[in-house]
Homo-oligomer: A and B are copies of this chain.
Amino acid sequence: MSTAKWIWYPAEYETYHHKLLSFRRQEYGCDYACHWYVANTELSVRFFRTFVAQEDTYIKVITHSKGMIRTQNGLKPVNEDILITKGEQQICVELFDLEGFCSFYLDSKYVVSDENWTTDLHDNHFINVACEPALTSPGDDPRKFPFEYKEVKPVSVEEINGGRLYDFGKEMFGIIEFDKLIDGMFLSYGESREEALDKVTSVIHESLSADDEARRPARAFRYIFVTSESGEYPHFTAEYEYLPIEDKASFRCENEKVNKIWDICSYTFHLNSREFFLDGIKRDRWVWSGDAYQSYMINNYLYADRAITKRTITALFGKPPYRTHINTINDYSAYLIIAVLEYYEATGDMEFVKSVWEKTKALYDFIVSRLDERGYVVGLYGDWIFIDWGEVDKQGAVCAEQILLWKTYLSMQKLSSLLGEDGDYPSRAEKLRDNILRDFWREDRKAFIDSFDSGKEQISRQSNIFAILYELVDSDCAEKIFRNVLENDNVPPITTPYFKLYELMAMCKLGRIEEMQTYLEGYWGGMLALGATSVWEQFKPDERGTEHYAMYGGSYARSLCHAWGSGPILLLGKYVCGVKPTSTGYKTFEVEPKAGKYKSFVADVPVNNGVVHVEFKGNSVSASADVEGGTLIFGGKSAVIPKNGAAEIVI
């Protein structure tokens, strides 16, 4: 008998928590509706199981939902001991839940709630149930996300501007709970000191009175500013709310600034790893497919936690039919499909691919249904051609979007062949690549232009980075692009850590490890020098003072803790440590360190179900792993990394 666990209809757990998350945003005193269509939970679900009771026995279906159990002895209630008579039994648990979602737990001698149950939505489409590793106790409540809590204390308190400013020393996400509330209080949260003190200009602030809840909702802050008309300041405690995921990765080199960057990136990533991968913890605190796409990659090099990637992909898919692009953004639909394949390649988890395959195809069909007569992605009414906040010519068909479409075709091709299905993906991919090269490539400039529809012939980094990263062009061509675009100061620089990650990955792909390292120290180091305790959504070195905090027309609207800033975790693990899978799920993988500027480093890097430990010093590298399949490559030599053993190469 397997372990009993809470079970539900697939995707309902994610749908429920995504719904809560999507409508939890508050800004400037308003409850803030999510910008896109968010799927609701299902009202009622059936669960089926056949089993053999060796004797008369009692079972109890524990649930927070309502419903009944159909047994061979008739209808029985939930949350009560009910008699099951000896013999083969078919039972059906029929639940409904108008507020939460249908789930239950059953632990008994002859039957438990586990993966062996099937389920349907009264639609006779029977599939296997889903569950989460964290929920295996009868006292659990799947409606409550299993966060943990730790009290944190301010590092300083200051009387200022007629109030009290509490500094918690670093970016934080958590709950402020007062002993009591009194009338005339005002609470302002700040990621920066300036934000907290600016009261009504801060993104999150609220007037409080004696009737309000003394335990405030979990929010992002480093600074808390409290004013009180009466002059009385009730005591409060602060709790850090977090998801306990352990780092499998680590990185230390002789450069302490780099080590500090690694630590801050890890911390930023932990803060944004919650029900799902968030964009940022102050705002939007939503699940964005493009941001999440980078988080999946970073996850592979930090925790290799499958559960959060699966939850995030599942939440993003929502429920077909698709009415708009994911997050309304054309590129974000493409990332989601590409992510399904990349998740499979990193884990070999075919069960998950199967569970989202129908949705993947529905989203693909939606994408294809909106191509223009040339077969190009264009921005139709309601579409958002995002790519990046930076300067990209977005008129008509945009090169970067077409490269993502091409990568989508390739991903669909691989996924469908894994599932034994056909499709016209290869011919679509080939034709699209030909058209991209014909319409967007400028041989004289050795670069792709953003848009030929606009006539502006503008070259941006973004389209060209994708051409290198997704291997639309061969390595010779990639080299030319690198010299003509990425090393060309006339092409406007990338300003978001988001696209900066892609640019640095392209650099590394072309062997420019030292350039990447230099940039890393300058750009991420630049934020550190300004006192950042987590990585920002955007960083422009030439900005001054509170300019760094402004965005979207708001003085403090910039997020100072944005997941997409954690890219260095990936850059150091993938390119400096050189750890990459060479077959699905890291069944085989290579460790080919390229230390670049660093004289020595010691690191751990996840390899799906295991971890490889890498040490580099001058002319020697060693690697040990707790799984099979590794090959250490260094200085033209290679050595097998034995399971639970070490390989070393000295040159």
Q: Are B43 and A40 in contact (CB under 8 A)?
A: yes
Q: Are A324 and B124 in contact (CB under 8 A)?
A: yes
Q: Are B98 and A23 in contact (CB under 8 A)?
A: yes
Q: Are B29 and A66 in contact (CB under 8 A)?
A: no
* Interface: A321 (CB within 8 A): yes
Given known contacts A27-B75, A43-B23, A96-B23, is B33 in contact with A67 (CB within 8 Å)? yes
Q: Are B28 and A75 in contact (CB under 8 A)?
A: yes
Q: Enumerate A117-131 residues with CB–CB distance to B below 8 Å.
A: 121-125
Across the two chains, which residue of chain B brings its CB closest to A37?
Answer: B122
A66 and B20 alpha carbons, distance in the complex (Å) = 13
Chain B residue numbers with a CB within 8 Å of A125 are 323
Q: Are B68 and A36 in contact (CB under 8 A)?
A: no
21 A-B pairs whose Cβ atoms sit less than 8 Å apart in the complex: A19-B98, A23-B43, A23-B96, A23-B98, A30-B76, A31-B68, A31-B96, A32-B75, A33-B44, A33-B67, A33-B68, A33-B94, A33-B96, A37-B44, A37-B121, A122-B324, A122-B328, A123-B323, A124-B324, A124-B382, A321-B321
Q: Are A122 and B35 in contact (CB under 8 A)?
A: yes
* Interface: A99 (CB within 8 A): yes
Q: Enumerate A401-454 residues with CB–CB distance to B below 8 Å.
A: none
Give 1 or 0 for each of A13-55: 1 = CB within 8 Å of chain B CB: 0000001101100011111111111111111101000000000
Give 1 or 0 for each of A57-69: 1 = CB within 8 Å of chain B CB: 0000000001110
Chain B residue numbers with a CB within 8 Å of A77 are 29-31
Chain B residue numbers with a CB within 8 Å of A98 are 19-20, 23
Chain B residue numbers with a CB within 8 Å of A29 are 77
Q: Are B323 and A121 in contact (CB under 8 A)?
A: yes
* Interface: A95 (CB within 8 A): yes
Q: Are B31 and A123 in contact (CB under 8 A)?
A: no
Chain B residue numbers with a CB within 8 Å of A42 are 40
A326 and B651 alpha carbons, distance in the complex (Å) = 74
Chain B residue numbers with a CB within 8 Å of A122 are 34-37, 323-324, 328
Chain B residue numbers with a CB within 8 Å of A68 are 30-33
Chain B residue numbers with a CB within 8 Å of A66 are 23, 31, 33
A85 and B46 alpha carbons, distance in the complex (Å) = 54
List the 8 shortest-distance A-B pairs measured between CB atoms, nearest first.
A123-B323, A124-B382, A33-B94, A31-B66, A30-B68, A40-B40, A37-B122, A33-B96
A121 and B32 alpha carbons, distance in the complex (Å) = 15
Give 1 or 0 for each of A73-87: 1 = CB within 8 Å of chain B CB: 001111000000000
Chain A interface size, under 10 / 10 to 19 / 20 to 34 / 35 or more: 35 or more
A30 and B382 alpha carbons, distance in the complex (Å) = 47
Chain B residue numbers with a CB within 8 Å of A41 are 40
Q: Are A123 and B37 in contact (CB under 8 A)?
A: yes
A52 and B535 alpha carbons, distance in the complex (Å) = 46
Given known contacts A37-B123, A121-B37, is B96 in contact with A99 (CB within 8 Å)? no
Chain B residue numbers with a CB within 8 Å of A96 are 23, 31, 33-34
Given known contacts A122-B324, A124-B382, A381-B124, is B30 in contact with A75 (CB within 8 Å)? yes
Given known contacts A36-B122, A122-B35, A125-B323, is B19 in contact with A43 (CB within 8 Å)? yes
Chain B residue numbers with a CB within 8 Å of A38 are 43-44
Q: Enumerate A88-144 residues with CB–CB distance to B below 8 Å.
A: 94-96, 98-99, 121-125
A22 and B382 alpha carbons, distance in the complex (Å) = 35
Across the two chains, which residue of chain B brings its CB closest to A99?
Answer: B99
A180 and B501 alpha carbons, distance in the complex (Å) = 67
Cβ distance A31 to chain B, nearest Cβ, rounded Å: 4
A30 and B27 alpha carbons, distance in the complex (Å) = 44
A597 and B43 alpha carbons, distance in the complex (Å) = 52
Q: Which of A23, A34, A40, A122 is the most central at the interface, judged by chain B CB atoms within 10 Å of its CB?
A: A122
Q: Are B23 and A34 in contact (CB under 8 A)?
A: no
Across the two chains, which residue of chain B brings its CB closest to A69?
Answer: B30
- Having A34-B44, A38-B43, one finds 12 other A-B pairs with CB under 8 Å, namely A23-B98, A31-B68, A31-B77, A31-B78, A33-B67, A34-B43, A34-B96, A34-B122, A37-B44, A37-B123, A122-B324, A125-B323
Q: Which of A34, A68, A75 is the most central at the interface, judged by chain B CB atoms within 10 Å of its CB?
A: A68
A38 and B19 alpha carbons, distance in the complex (Å) = 19
A27 and B94 alpha carbons, distance in the complex (Å) = 14
A449 and B504 alpha carbons, distance in the complex (Å) = 77
Cβ distance A121 to chain B, nearest Cβ, rounded Å: 6
Q: Which of A41, A67, A96 is the most central at the interface, judged by chain B CB atoms within 10 Å of its CB?
A: A96
Chain B residue numbers with a CB within 8 Å of A43 are 19, 22-23, 34, 38-40
Cβ distance A353 to chain B, nearest Cβ, rounded Å: 23
Chain B residue numbers with a CB within 8 Å of A27 are 75
Across the two chains, which residue of chain B brings its CB closest to A32?
Answer: B68
A95 and B33 alpha carbons, distance in the complex (Å) = 6
Across the two chains, which residue of chain B brings its CB closest to A122?
Answer: B37
Give 1 or 0 for each of A250-291: 1 = CB within 8 Å of chain B CB: 000000000000000000000000000000000000000000
